[in-house]
Amino acid sequence: MQALSWSIQYPERLRHSIVIASAPNLSAQNIAFNEVARQAILTDPDFHGGHFYAHNTLPRRGLRVARMIGHITYLSDDVMDAKFGRALRNAEISYSTQAVDFQIESYLRYQGDKFSEYFDANTYLLITRALDYFDPASKFDGNLSKALEKSLCKFLVISFTTDWRFSPTRSREIVKALVDNARDVSYAEIDAPHGHDAFLLEDPRYHRILAAYFDRISSET
Q: What is the CATH number of the domain that holds 71?
A: 1.10.1740.110
Q: What is the CATH number of the domain that holds 17?
A: 3.40.50.1820
pLDDT at residue 120 in the model = 98
Judge contact between 134 and 126, C-beta under 8 A. Answer: no
Final residue in a domain of this structure, among 90, 105, 130:
130
Does the structure show a pLDDT above 80 at 59? yes
| 105 and 173 both lie in a single domain | no
| 124 and 34 both lie in a single domain | yes
| 14 and 60 both lie in a single domain | no
Specify if 196 maps to a domain.
yes
How far CA 3 is from CA of 14, 23, 175, 210, in Å, comes to: 9, 11, 14, 15
Transcribe 179-190 into DSSP letters.
Answer: HHTT--EEEEEE
Dihedral of CA atoms 79, 85, 90, 95 in degrees, nearest 10, equals 130
State the amino acid at position 30 in one-letter form: N
Predicted model pTM: 0.92
Specify if 41 maps to a domain.
yes
Give dist(CA 192, CA 141) in Å, integer: 34
pLDDT, tens digit, 9 for 90 and up, residues 138-189:
999 999 999 999 999 999 999 999 999 999 999 999 999 999 999 999 999 9
Nearest to 55 by CA among 65, 44, 68, 39: 44
pLDDT at residue 95 in the model = 86
| 90 and 58 both lie in a single domain | yes
| 52 and 123 both lie in a single domain | yes
Name the maximum alpha-carbon separation found in the chain. Answer: 64
Number of domains in the chain: 2
pLDDT at residue 93 in the model = 85
Nearest to 216 by CA among 45, 15, 31: 15
Task: Find the mean pLDDT for residues 29-53.
Answer: 98
Domain that holds residue 90: 29-130
β-partners of residue 119 are none
